[in-house]
Amino acid sequence: EVLLTQSPGTLSLSPGERAALSCRASQSVISSYLAWYQQKPGQAPRLLIYGASSRATGIPDRFSGSGSGTDFTLTISRLEPEDFAVYYCQHYDSSPKVFTFGPGTKVDIK
């Protein structure tokens, strides 16, 4: 079973700043099985990035994903007020058809 860790747990930044969120897998994973989601209070998670680096439909280009193997990064180039939220990485294991979520990184306003 792949375990995901995310760092930092909380990132305190100001609007306009750049955010870099890390997701590390316990073993090498297939990049196409790695996704990122954003969740705001009272809402379901929203898909941002799939296949490690492909933006989902309607996601602004300030969001980008990168990485391979065990280390992946979600970058928000310039934080907008609506970007303050919790971000989760997710891995799909095709054999038991199980998704695993990381513990999340909260991006809050400094």
Q: Which is nearer to another protein, 79 or 102 (CB)?
A: 102
List 11, 23, 29, 33, residue binding another protein (CB under 8 A)? 33
Q: Residues near 76 by Cβ (< 8 Å), separated by ≥ 6?
A: 18, 19, 21, 62, 63, 83, 107
List 44, 58, 61, 81, residue binding another protein (CB under 8 A)? 44
Q: How many angstroms separate the Cα of 28 from the Cα of each of 3, 4, 39, 50?
A: 11, 11, 26, 17
Binding of another protein by 2 (CB under 8 A)? no
Closest approach of Cβ 99 to another protein, in Å? 4
Binding of another protein by 97 (CB under 8 A)? yes
> 13: exposed, middle or buried (C-beta count within 10 Å: 0-12, 13-18, 19+)?
middle
The amino acid at 75 = T
Binding of another protein by 56 (CB under 8 A)? yes
Token pair for residue 76? 């928000």
Positions that interact with another protein (CB under 8 A): 1, 32-33, 35, 37, 39, 44-45, 47, 50-51, 54, 56, 86, 88, 90, 92, 94, 96-104
